[in-house]
Homo-oligomer: A and B are copies of this chain.
Amino acid sequence: MSRPASTSPRRRPGGRTARTRRLVLDAVLAELGEHGYDGLTVEAVAARAGVHRTTVHRRWRDVGGLLTDVYDAASGDDWQPPDTGSLEGDLVALNQEVHDALTAQPSVVGALIAASFRSERAAEAQRRLWEGRYDRSEAVVERAVQRGELARPVDARNLLLSATAPLYHQLVLLGGAGDPGLPARAARTAVLAAAAGAFEVPPAGGARPARADG
C-alpha cells in the first residue's frame, strides 16, 4: 500500500525521457535505502544511474525534487488493492503489503518516511501518495458492501485507517521488529469493529438513525 517500489511510468513504457527517469528514481531509492537521507546527493544518484550530473540537476534540481518525483511516480503507477473475495481477506493482504514494505531490508520505505521529516516537499508528496492509496483502497470496502458483508453504509476511509494504523504505529514509530501475526490481527480487529457498527455513517440528511432495524 505504501510501497513506491515500482517507479516505472508504465503509461510511457518507451522513450528516452521515461527511461532516464526510471534509472534516476531507482537510484534514489537504492541510495536512500543504503545511506539514508543524509547520504543522498544529486551526485551519488547521477553516478549510480549512469546519467550526467547536469541532467539530474536540470530536471530535478535537488534532493527535494528527486524525493518528490519518487512519490509522484509511485502515485502514478497502476497499483490496485487486493481482491480476495472477502473484506477480511482484502484487509489482511493490504496489511501484509504494508508490513512487507516496512520491514524490507534495506528499508526504502522507512528511509522515505524518515526523509519526510526532513523535507516538507517530500512530506507533501508522501501525503499525496498515501491519500491516493487510501482512495483506491476504498474499493475494498465498496465490494464488501456490495457482497452484503457490511449491512449498513460505513465510512470507508475510517475503516481503512483503523485497519492499517497499527502497522505504521508499531513498525515505524514504536520501532518494533516485524510481527508476522500483526497484519491478520489488525485486519480482524477492524472487521469485528465494523460488524459492531464502529464505522457506520448516519443516513443522509443528518438525522440520527431511526433504529427501526434494531
Contacts and interface: CB of A to CB of B under 8 A. Distances in A.
A186 B186 CA distance: 13
A113 interface: yes
A170 B161 contact: yes
Contacts of A108: none
A113 B173 CA distance: 8
A164 interface: yes
A35 interface: no
A205 to B, nearest CB: 19
A123 B173 CA distance: 9
A162 interface: yes
Contact of A162 (B113, B158, B189): B189
Interface in A117-173: 117-118, 123, 127, 130, 158, 161-162, 164-166, 168-170, 172-173
A44 interface: no
Contacts of A189: 162, 190, 193, 198-199
A209 to B, nearest CB: 15
A193 B198 contact: yes
A174 B114 contact: no
20 contacts: A113-B173, A114-B117, A117-B117, A117-B118, A123-B175, A130-B174, A158-B185, A161-B166, A161-B174, A162-B166, A162-B189, A165-B166, A165-B168, A165-B170, A168-B168, A172-B173, A188-B198, A189-B199, A192-B197, A193-B196
